Structure 1
Amino acid sequence: MPIYVYWGEDDFALEKAVVSLRSRVLDPQWTSFNYTLFLPDLADGVIQGLNQAMTPSFGAGGRLVWLMNTAVCQHCPENVLNELIRTLPVIPDNSFLLLTSPNKPDERLKSTKILKQFATEFREFPLIPPWKTELLVQAVNQAAESAGLKLTPKIAELLAESVGNDTRSLDSEIEKLRLYAGGNYHLLDINTVSQLVRNTTQNSLQLAAAIRTGDVAKALTTLNDLINASEPGLRIVATLIGQFRTWLWVKIMMESGERNPQAIAKASEVNNPKRIYFLQQEIKFLSVQQLISTLPILLELEVSLKQGYSDISTLQTKVVELCQVCRVT
């Protein structure tokens, strides 16, 4: 009963996993007979998919039934649940059922529980938070290693800064560097890579840094660059909230007299304690009260965007407010 459940916001990584699964399961000459995709707008798509999964494959290879963007792990009608209970335990070994969704499965639902019980793979594809730079660098190194590319630590950091958590862009840039190097890794020095890699990082962390220093002009310029690069407003806000919460926790720990970087890193959810020194330097001119005052503004901004207010004007207004709060008096 080969059952696969994939979910998460990193749609590119999820797509790659689906392609990998298809290549393992299907024989290219029999794909048209053994591969079926059910879109979420089909009323009885889940039940049709389960029935299709019970059909033996034709010719060589296995059968793959894909329920794309299914909501069965967020909302499952009784008739669909009953069909899951009846079908999942008896799916043939050469028939593969794949369910994908951008949303995390609701662990409380019976449908989620039975899928977890029978799933061969129950896997999340999360986006790395843009402010977690260590994880971004780690992802760059993993992608480079998979492509057979050797990167220096400085180049890995440059790539992480340039593409952020956009795994699609990372894959493209890694492939570009691999083709350019052609196996001669000494060709990839920091100056060459900085010219080859498309820099998409007028990023939200740079916006946070401009706000932290109270530099209205720089903050608005960076925000404009982000908007022109089609960065979603809610993603910008998520990064700002994460960064300001980290700064606040570090400042609170400093004010409490804590000097142990490991303890501060644990409290502020920073993976690398070596970063604590740099975070402390970033906020040495800000007070705890200033950092606390940024959070209600960020919350108002998030709520406004979710209610459909104009991204540009709302972001601009709140960015100016945040700069005023952080301005050193």
Structure 2
Amino acid sequence: MTLTMGIYFFWGEDDFAIAQTVQTLRNSILDPNWIQFNYHQIAGEDPNSTIDALNQAMTPVFGMGGRLVWVVNTSICQQCSEDILTQLQRILPAIPDSSHLLFTTSKKPDKRLKSTKLIEQYAEVREYSPIPPWKTDELIHKVKQVAQEIGVKLTPNAVKLLGSSVGNNSRQLWNELEKLQLYAQQENKPLDETIVATLVNANAQNSLQLAEAICKGNQAEALQLIDELLSRNEPALRIVATLVGQFRTWTIIQLQLEAGETDNKIIAKAADIPNPKRLYFLRKELQGISSQSLLATLPILLDLETRLKRGHNPLETLQIKTIELCELFK
């Protein structure tokens, strides 16, 4: 992970990944002996936070190392007054090389705003949104990236299993890889899938297995998987997100196939699948399943998500809706 500029704007809902990058910034910029003088964390909810941050960024470094000013939960790319915009226009180009200014937020920047365009001009902008669970190629790439950072060597099959096991949960990925790193100290070769299967909690794997069980109309297996996932403290809404993504992908593929499409690249693009070769396996999963049944899952899943967000009991709601889904494929 290389950070090359002195002004940064990180946004997205993956707060753990943002926190990891911020820690990297801290370690690379600040001298441990002078942190209390050169590190400033400012709450973005404060109306004066941006002005305070700009003033701190223009203050000369005290002692050794650099200065890091971090505005947490900034709103400058959602709303920005003319006064603050004027200050940004004046100060951003003049921030000294020894100072580093960081803005973070969970919200997507509004590209229509002048402040957003200004940030894009002067800052290194990075998105930290969770990878959709069905984008397996991106999940595998993420596993390889973090494994390299932590220093864990894995076989290709181990990488795939870890990616499907933790899904898009960045915190769990780091925790599992740190656990595997401790185990790897006893080994002189890359860890294989057998070791990963033994040591790693396979939450995302079971969520995808849940989708497969539903598609087979296997109520008993599906209900058992729900119990396992919730007993491992997997959030119900995350389970639903995986189901929605998987059924969405299946539905688009089946609609394309039933329409007579034969070009894998066209089907993969429609279904948002980076690697068309994955269609071979997805087609096998869809044998004997109609697009009509798949389309019928989507309103049920939407109702499931709505009920969970309104505070309905996760176990009971998942069980009831899973039975409804299984009935579609009997």
TM-score by length of 2: 0.90
Pairing partner for 1:299 from 299, 302, 327:
302
Which residues of structure 1 form unaligned runs of 5+?
A: none
Q: CA RMSD in A?
A: 2.2
Q: Could you say which residue in structure 1 is the equivalent of 2:115?
A: 111
* Separation of aligned partners in 2, 1:309 and 1:84: 45
Alignment map for 1:235-246 (pairs within 5 Å): 235-246=238-249
Q: Could you say which residue in structure 2 is the equivalent of 1:53?
A: 57
Please state how far the C-alpha of 1:202 moved relative to its aligned partner: 5.7
Pairing partner for 2:20 from 16, 20, 34:
16
* Separation of aligned partners in 2, 1:273 and 1:174: 29
Q: Could you say which residue in structure 2 is the equivalent of 1:186?
A: 189
Q: Is the 8 A contact 2:153 2:191 kept in 1?
A: no
* Separation of aligned partners in 2, 1:66 and 1:10: 17
Q: Could you say which residue in structure 2 is the equivalent of 1:143?
A: 146
1:91 aligned to 2:90? no
Please state how far the C-alpha of 1:289 moved relative to its aligned partner: 0.8
Q: Is the 8 A contact 1:202 1:226 kept in 2?
A: no
Q: Is the 8 A contact 1:8 1:126 kept in 2?
A: yes
Pairing partner for 1:65 from 51, 64, 69:
69
**Larger displacement relative to structure 2 (125-134 or 300-309):** 300-309
Change (3 A) 1:203 1:190: closer
* Separation of aligned partners in 1, 2:283 and 2:113: 44
SS of the equivalent of 2:226 reads helix
Change (3 A) 1:297 1:199: closer
Change (3 A) 1:5 1:235: same
1:156 aligned to 2:159? yes
* Separation of aligned partners in 2, 1:117 and 1:141: 31
Please state how far the C-alpha of 1:166 moved relative to its aligned partner: 1.7
Pairing partner for 2:326 from 316, 323, 326:
323
Change (3 A) 1:316 1:84: farther
SS of the equivalent of 2:247 reads helix
Which residues of structure 2 form unaligned runs of 5+?
A: none
Change (3 A) 1:314 1:197: closer
Please state how far the C-alpha of 1:326 moved relative to its aligned partner: 2.4
Q: Is the 8 A contact 1:150 1:185 kept in 2?
A: no
Please state how far the C-alpha of 1:191 moved relative to its aligned partner: 2.7
Percent identity over the alignment is: 52
In structure 1, what residue type is equivalent to 2:90?
R
In structure 2, what residue type is equivalent to 1:134?
D
Change (3 A) 1:108 1:302: farther
* Separation of aligned partners in 2, 1:198 and 1:314: 24
Pairing partner for 1:271 from 266, 269, 274:
274
Please state how far the C-alpha of 1:303 moved relative to its aligned partner: 3.1
Task: Work out the number of aligned pairs and report it.
Answer: 326
Change (3 A) 1:259 1:167: same
CA deviation vs aligned residue, 1:86-106 (integer Å, no higher than 9, x gap): 332222222211001122211
* Separation of aligned partners in 1, 2:173 and 2:146: 8
SS of the equivalent of 2:19 reads helix
In structure 1, what residue type is equivalent to 2:37?
F
1:171 aligned to 2:136? no
CA deviation vs aligned residue, 1:71-118 (integer Å, no higher than 9, x gap): 222233444333323332222222211001122211112221111111
Please state how far the C-alpha of 1:32 moved relative to its aligned partner: 0.6
1:211 aligned to 2:214? yes
Q: Is the 8 A contact 2:250 2:294 kept in 1?
A: yes
In structure 2, what residue type is equivalent to 1:232?
P
Change (3 A) 1:145 1:259: same
Q: Could you say which residue in structure 2 is the equivalent of 1:82?
A: 86
Q: Is the 8 A contact 2:167 2:205 kept in 1?
A: no
TM-score by length of 1: 0.90
* Separation of aligned partners in 1, 2:118 and 2:220: 54
Q: Could you say which residue in structure 2 is the equivalent of 1:124?
A: 127
Please state how far the C-alpha of 1:43 moved relative to its aligned partner: 4.1
Q: Could you say which residue in structure 2 is the equivalent of 1:37?
A: 41
In structure 2, what residue type is equivalent to 1:6?
F
SS of the equivalent of 2:267 reads helix
Q: Is the 8 A contact 1:202 1:222 kept in 2?
A: no
Please state how far the C-alpha of 1:52 moved relative to its aligned partner: 1.6
